[in-house]
A and B are shown apart, each in its own frame.
Chain A
Amino acid sequence: EVVLTQSPGTLSLSPGERATLSCRASQSVSSYLAWYQQKPGQAPRLLIYDASNRATGIPARFSGSGSGTDFTLTISSLEPEDFAVYYCQQRGNWLTFGGGTKVEMK
Chain B
Amino acid sequence: QVQLVESGGGVVQPGRSLRLSCAASGFIFNNYGMHWVRQAPGKGLEWVGVISHDGTNKFYADSVKGRFTFSRDSSKNTLYLQMNSLRAEDTAVYYCAKEGPRNGYNYFDYWGQGTLVTVSS
Q: Which residues of A contact B (CB under 8 A)?
A: 34, 36, 38, 43-46, 49, 55-56, 87, 89, 91, 95-100
Contact B47 A44 (CB under 8 A): no
Chain A residue at minimal CB-CB distance from B99: A91
Q: Please tell me if B78 contacts chain A, counting CB pairs below 8 Å.
A: no
Contact A34 B95 (CB under 8 A): no
Task: Count chain B residues whose beta carbon lies closer than 8 angstroms to a beta carbon of A.
Answer: 18
Residues from chain A with a CB closer than 8 A to the CB of B47 are 89, 95-97
Chain B interface mostly: strand
Residues from chain A with a CB closer than 8 A to the CB of B114 are 43
Contact B45 A91 (CB under 8 A): no
The contact string, 1 if C-beta is below 8 Å from chain A, for chain B 83-120, is 00000000000010000110001111101111000000
Write 30 A-B pairs (CB below 8 A) sorted by A numbering.
Answer: A34-B107, A36-B108, A43-B95, A43-B111, A43-B113, A43-B114, A44-B108, A44-B111, A45-B111, A46-B109, A49-B101, A49-B107, A49-B109, A55-B101, A56-B101, A56-B109, A87-B44, A87-B45, A89-B107, A89-B108, A91-B105, A91-B106, A91-B107, A95-B47, A95-B106, A97-B44, A97-B47, A99-B44, A100-B44, A100-B45
